[in-house]
Structure 1
Amino acid sequence: MDQMNCVKTIFFDVDDTLYDHLQPLRGALQEVLGLPDTFDYAMAYHHFRYYSDWLSAQEDLSAVPEPDAVERMRSRRFELTMEEFGIALQFGQAQELQRTYLSRQFEITPFQGVYDLIRRLQAEGHMVGLITNGEGPHQRRKLEALDVFSLVDEQLIFISGEIGYAKPDSRLFEHVNKQTRTAADHCYYIGDSWRNDVAGAVDAGWNIIWFNHREASPESDHQPHFTAQNYAEISRILTFEHARS
């Protein structure tokens, strides 16, 4: 078997793919609103991510957004999320939730098994990187908190706010292909968001592993190539694909 044909390009999403994005949201809701442990935080997170993506599309935040538009989106997503549970936020609470949520976003740890998988893939000679939506300085602070820069080559870390395109815009994936001199059909993307990761990667011609650890439902007719609920399953998928090459 030709060793070069076995080498793959594998990129990971960051938020809720490298680490549990629910942790900072749960902490903010408990601190600001005093919600009990019995509250359905998983469902709240589902709504929160949906409204984040929906409002970002409405505000056209895919390129270099206006700061005021970003702040409107960040506050409004909390209001809409809590409305799903019949909770009307008082004046200023949405902004307080955002501030608290932001402060907790850097108290994060990676999912079990993800770094072991990345190290193994690198040892096997695969190109491994990250593609994430968000503002450059903000996402870089998360990556520093996760100690990612000691693990992944910074030249293989692509942040939408530094590029001008955001997932699901296929131009972001095309930019990555151009910069890494790779072909879309040889690239694998691992991400949790249906709208950003599955639809974005499929439309760009990439192979997508939908990291559906929250048992979400599809939001369109796009077809993920693979679905996994944990990193053991992702590892098995990539091992199989490596052996099949």
Structure 2
Amino acid sequence: MNDYTPQKAVFFDLDDTLYDHLIPFRLALQSVLSTGIDFPYEPAYHRLRYFSDKLSAERGGTPTQGHDLEEMRTSRFQLALAEFDIILTTEQAAAVQAQYLNKQFQIEMFEGARELIQKLQAHGYLVGVITNGPPEHQMNKIQALNLEEFIPSELFFISGAVGITKPDRKLFEHVTDKFELSPENCYYIGDSWRNDVVGASSAGWNVIWFNHRGVEPESAHRPHQLAKSYTDLTAYLLGDK
């Protein structure tokens, strides 16, 4: 028996759930492509996320290193921006990707996120992070957000380190097995329909879709709850506590 045996657990996705992922995307495009204030950044970002998930699924999970990872990262920019009449060479896409990575470490948590995590912990919830991506890259974001100040390191689950990628239900089962949790007592909060809603619900978790961008569902799966802000999340998880 390990030390973590709370009645309930709440795990968060990282990108665009704990911080605004649109900001580094917009800054990268402005820096490399000189896109102006009228460019439709949010719709373009949606398509980037779509192609990122699609290309990852085609490869059997997010690549964590080497040529395959770099090719996926540049291809997603080419495919997404082509829909907005921006045709990128491989070299241009790589330059945008490089800036995008750099800007991802200049981030802050969404308003209310840190407070919610600490309130959950104070009420006895086990709180952690489940995220897709290469271990070093995702840990750099975790450190940029100072998450290690209040979440123990053993509660960060990164697909590239575990060897299982969302939406594979086995990643969520790995977490419940490690901490001897029942899926019905676990809550997962994430913005991605494909990775978060589909993945966690298939593992029997309670899913809160953090749909702060107002996008449409992609399948017949249904989250247990919809939230558009951390005010919504706090009200649902803690109510009057």
Q: TM-score range by the shorter chain?
A: over 0.9
CA distance in structure 1 between the partners assigned to 2:129 and 2:88 by the alignment: 35
Alignment of 1:136-215 (within 5 A): 136-215=135-214
**What's the counterpart of residue 93 of structure 2?**
94
Deviation for aligned residue 1:6: 8.8
CA distance in structure 1 between the partners assigned to 2:190 and 2:65 by the alignment: 26
Contact 1:61 1:70 in 2 (8 A): no
One-letter identity of the residue aligned with 1:33: L
Deviation for aligned residue 1:7: 3.5
CA distance in structure 1 between the partners assigned to 2:79 and 2:124 by the alignment: 45
CA distance in structure 2 between the partners assigned to 1:44 and 1:194 by the alignment: 17
- 1:14 and 2:11 matched: no
Q: Which sections of structure 1, spanning at least 5 residues, go unmatched?
A: none
Matched length: 237
CA deviations on 1:15-63 (whole Å, 9 max, x unpaired) are 000000001100000011100011110001100000000011112234x
Alignment of 1:118-137 (within 5 A): 118-137=117-136
> Structure 2-normalised TM-score?
0.95
One-letter identity of the residue aligned with 1:46: H
Question: Cα RMSD over matched residues?
Answer: 1.6
One-letter identity of the residue aligned with 2:8: K
CA distance in structure 1 between the partners assigned to 2:186 and 2:59 by the alignment: 30
Alignment of 1:34-53 (within 5 A): 34-53=34-53
Gap change, CA 1:163 and 1:198, over 3 Å in 2: same
Deviation for aligned residue 1:67: 1.6
Q: Percent identity?
A: 49
Contact 2:6 2:124 in 1 (8 A): no
One-letter identity of the residue aligned with 1:49: R
Q: Which sections of structure 2, spanning at least 5 residues, go unmatched?
A: none
CA deviations on 1:57-115 (whole Å, 9 max, x unpaired) are 112234x6552111110000000011111111145100101111111110000000000
Gap change, CA 1:227 and 1:7, over 3 Å in 2: same
CA distance in structure 1 between the partners assigned to 2:165 and 2:211 by the alignment: 21
